[in-house]
Amino acid sequence: MDPINIFVGLNLVATFGANISGAKRGLKEKLTVHKEKPKTYLQKFPLVLSALSLVAIILGVFQIGTLEYKLEFENARLWGLVVYIAFSWFQIWAYKILGESYSQDILILKDHKLVTSGPFKLIRHPQYLSQILMDIGGGIATLSYIVIIIALIEVPFLIMRALLEEKILEKHFKENFSEYKSKSSFMLPFLG
């Protein structure tokens, strides 16, 4: 098996355990009282795209749905691997920092707290930035054209989801969110 694909596969296994806790919390959250939860396709569709991307990366590890591996792609694949690994762990860090305020759905929990520490100090949506870069990096590392296509489709939906989250957070946290918004960037550090 290809060495880069071995590292992608090992990272998948390593991050899977960390992501299980988020999934369990998501299931527990279904039973938790929440103040607001909009009914929108943005609740599930971006998550479905992320799941499809995960499946495509797993297939890419086994060279299914990939371009032919050639020596001239090796540097790009190595950079893709670095981006994939770095942002998969960055995403987990963002979820861990959210703590009890983490949810797989767009909602305001009964005891919701505005998180402004860790990666949230600089950007308001590090988990979505991570998802995009992780998918692009994984697609390049495995040369999976399927993952790249899904990642490109995913971008506008994650941006729309982030904008909806901001609307709800602003409604709930009012001045606190406005102040936080003025001190942080949307998805890219130091930009707007």
Q: Read off φ and ψ for residue 94, nearest 5 degrees.
A: -60, -45
Q: What does each C-alpha distance from 188 to 34, 39, 66, 74, 146 come to in angstroms?
A: 29, 27, 29, 28, 25
Residue 25: partners with Cβ closer than 8 Å, 6 or more residues away: 102, 103
- Judge whether residue 33 has pLDDT over 80: no
Q: What is the pLDDT of residue 177?
A: 95
Confidence class for position 25, pLDDT limits 50, 70, 90:
low
**pLDDT per position as a tens digit, 41-78:** 999 999 999 999 999 999 999 999 999 999 999 999 99
Confidence class for position 31, pLDDT limits 50, 70, 90:
low
Q: What is the pLDDT of residue 26?
A: 56
Reduced to 3 DSSP states, what percent helix, strand and coil does the chain have, rounded to the nearest 5?
A: 70, 5, 25
**pLDDT per position as a tens digit, 71-114:** 999 999 999 999 999 999 999 999 889 888 888 889 888 888 99
Q: Which domains does the chain have, with CATH numbers?
A: 3-183 (1.20.120.1630)
Confidence class for position 28, pLDDT limits 50, 70, 90:
low
Mean pLDDT, the chain, integer: 90
The model carries a pTM of: 0.91
For residue 64, give the nearest of 138, 9, 145 by alpha carbon.
145
Query: Cα–Cα distance between 24 and 78 in angstroms, integer?
Result: 33
Under 8 Å between Cβ of 65 and 56: yes
Concatenating the DSSP letter of every residue in 110-174 gives: TT-----SGGGGTBS-HHHHHHHHHHHHHHHHHTBHHHHHHHHHHHHHHHHHHHHHHHHHHHHHT
